[in-house]
Chain A
Amino acid sequence: MHRVFNDLGLAVLVVVAMAVAPSIYSNQLLLFNFVMFLSLAQGLNVIYGFTGYLPFGYVGFFGAGAYGFALAVMHLGFGPPGAMAVGAAAAVVLALILTPLFRLSGAYFAIANLAAAQAVYEVVANPALEDVTKGPYGVSLSGVFAPNASYAAAVAILAFTLLLVVWLRNSQFGLSLRAIKEDPISAAMAGVSVVRGRTIAWLLSALIAGLVGGSFAWEVSVFYPETAFSPQFSIFAVVFALFGGTATLTGPLLGVFILYGVYNWIGISVPQYFQLIYGTLIVALVLFLPNGLVSLLTRRGIRVP
């Protein structure tokens, strides 16, 4: 039982810290980015850490969430909460459409998912759809701009995401996902529906990215397709989660705090060395700690939250 409380304690700590951070540190947009990547890295953790499928096109769900939000505001006159729900729904529907990708394994899944995200981007950015999506010219949602509220929404999404990961780590369902990841044949013979388990993890992962995308649209309120579908979101989510170590709560959190922290710090202080330092850090990690920072502890049999 105390395992759950360790996990919950960490989740609460992070959420409270990010909730009070704006009253201590004034750069709210930077804090928003931290909150956003904390959620995205954990959302990626839900699918990769618990099923082993690496979605290189994770940004597709984020972009679907951002554009779902924007379209609901522009065309349906929805307020931000309703628009956020539309964004989340758009991401989940996209995930449902992409479920056949699970027939592919390993790199093929990752590449197909990347292509799918690119396809959604192409549709959204298509000038012929200017009346609907504003095409390549981008959307402006200045009517709903409210940075304090959108920051609060992002923190709420982070709380939801962390609770979800705590649940996955401590529930029978989460255990069944780990079993599927280890050995899908044995899992099936143990009575676990492999398709159902993977699909649920996939939809939850997409839901998180969709919600985060919605909060991003609300926060920045003016954006272009190439912003909302920037591959950088996928890359960062993947790198942060892997750097810290997946299938844990701590790993992706550490990955974001350290790597995104370093990213902002060296990007400002020594921009000329930025890519060198950043690249070296990541290469070193992949070479020496392929299972992420937390594996320093977990491989000694220590359970981290």
Chain B
Amino acid sequence: MSPDAKLLHVEKLEKRFGGFRALDGVSFDLLPGEVLGLVGPNGSGKTTCINVISGLYGGDGGQVVFEGARIDGTAMHKLARLGINRTFQSPKPFLSLTVRENVEISARYGHAGGAAIDLDGLLASLELDAHAHRAAEDLNSAQQKTLDLARALATAPRLLLVDELAAGLNPAELDRMAIRLRTLADRGMAMLVVEHLMGFIDKVTDRVVVLNAGREIFGGTLAQATQDPDVIRVFLGGSHGG
């Protein structure tokens, strides 16, 4: 791949909390429209990785390059306008605002350029249209996560970071969510998908990176990962660090 074709380039990313290394030199690349799964045991640094890329945390080393420019240290609201957006592991909608207002804000302030988003169509496609005029606090947790996704999509991101979106969805909803993400990727949106449900990872991602204790221990397809002795040990062995 030519270097310019990369949408996201993450190199030797480090993040420390006190003396603890939550990210210990993580590197990977993403192409436009590519879906990378980020998997690993609890506490392996998946959310931290999303937090650093999305600007919520400053990194302590390494770099993040988006569309050829370094973005580490850039404020979150600027990253949103550059075309990076995310969901949150525990949903963080604006609770007292209506569902519609939640997406209006990000469409108005965070739009990354290109055609305006049809917000009603967006809510309908995520099965939130029936709740459009209800306060976000009236939604259940899975719906709130979906609202986080809607809010992210309303900015028309080119890179979407998804943190455990599938938790709390029933099997039918899971399938529909997987199809939605796949459709977005096929239209060119790159994604980093953090998920514990391997069936979901299998349906949505092109390849995976496996993290353990802040380090990548594997990169490749999910099928290969399930054969990898290190990966098996980390997931089944209840090993160190996790």
Contact = CB atoms under 8 A, between A and B. Distances in A.
Among B77, B95, B104, B106, max chain A CB count under 10 A is at: B77
- Most chain B CB within a 10 A radius of its CB, from A175, A186, A190: A190
A178 B136 CA distance: 13
A189 B78 CA distance: 9
Interface in B195-240: none
A190 B155 contact: yes
B92 A186 contact: yes
A185 B56 contact: yes
B97 to A, nearest CB: 6
Interface stretch (A145-153, A154-162, A191-199, A250-258): A191-199
A191 B106 contact: yes
B111 A179 contact: no
Contact of B105 (A185, A192, A193, A194): A192
Contact of B94 (A172, A183, A188, A193): A183
Contacts of A190: 77, 80, 105-106, 109-110, 151, 155
A195 to B, nearest CB: 8
B76 A182 contact: no
Contacts, number: 78
B86 interface: yes
A191 B81 contact: yes
Interface in B69-114: 75-77, 80-81, 85-86, 88, 92-97, 101, 104-106, 108-111
Nearest to B55: A188
Given A187-B105, A191-B109, A194-B77, A182 B152 contact: no
Contacts of B93: 183, 186
A182 B97 contact: yes
A39 interface: no
Residue with the highest number of chain A CB atoms closer than 10 Å, among B93, B94, B96: B94
Given A190-B155, A191-B80, A178 B97 contact: yes
A80 to B, nearest CB: 40
A190 B85 CA distance: 8
Nearest to B88: A186
A182 B96 contact: yes
A176 interface: yes
A188 B76 contact: yes
Contact of A189 (B80, B95, B97, B101): B80
B119 to A, nearest CB: 13
A187 B94 CA distance: 8
A275 B152 CA distance: 52
Interface in A166-220: 172, 175-176, 178-179, 182-183, 185-194
Given A175-B104, A179-B94, A182-B96, A189 B109 contact: no
Among all A-B residue pairs, the 3 with the closest Cβ atoms: A191-B110, A190-B106, A191-B109
Interface of B: 54-56, 75-77, 80-81, 85-86, 88, 92-97, 101, 104-106, 108-111, 148, 151-152, 155
